[in-house]
Amino acid sequence: MRVLLDTNILLDVLGRREPYYEDAARIWTLAETGKIEAFASAISFTNIFYIVRKFRDLRAARQAVKWMRDVFHVAPCDDTILHQAIDANWRDLEDAVQYFSAWRIEASYIISRNTGDFTKSDTDVLRPEEFLAMLSMTE
C-alpha cells in the first residue's frame, strides 16, 4: 500500500507532539519496517528543515531530514506538479502540492490530521487513527 504523509504527521513524530505522537509514530514504524510504502513530498523536507531549525537548531534540523530520508521515499515536486497546484486554485498552495505529489505517485491514501484541507482531493485522505483502524481491519 502506497501512502503520502502530510508534513504535520512527520512533525508529530519529530517533535513528539502530543496527543498526536503515538499514532504518527506507529505509521512511521510501519514505513520503517516496510509494511507500507510511505512517501513524503519533497517540500516536506524543506518545510521540516526550516521549522526544526527555527524552533531547535541547525543540528537538529539536519538530523530530522536525515531520519526522513532514511525512511521515506520522496514524492517529486517538479514544474508539472507546481503548475497543477497553482492552477488548481486551492486555498493553500502547500496542500495542493501535497495532493498533486500524491497523485503523481499513485498513492492510495494521503495521511493528514488536516483532512479538511483536502476537500478537492480525489485521493482518500485519512487521519492517522482512521488509517491505523482501516489497516488493522485488513490484517
Q: Over the chain (139 residues), what is each successive 10-residue block's mean pLDDT?
A: 97 96 98 97 96 96 97 96 96 95 97 90 93 88
Task: Tell me the residue length of the chain.
Answer: 139
Q: What share of the chain is helix, strand, coil (3-state, %, to 5)?
A: 60, 15, 25
For residue 119, the model assigns a pLDDT of 85
Q: Which of 123, 128, 124, 116 is nearest to 92 (CA)?
A: 116
For residue 139, the model assigns a pLDDT of 66
CATH code of residue 81: 3.40.50.1010
**pTM for the model:** 0.93
For residue 67, the model assigns a pLDDT of 97
d(CA 123, CA 130): 15
**Count of the separate structural domains present in the chain:** 1
Pull the grid cell for residue 112: 493528514
For residue 137, the model assigns a pLDDT of 84
For residue 120, the model assigns a pLDDT of 85
Domain that holds residue 52: 2-138
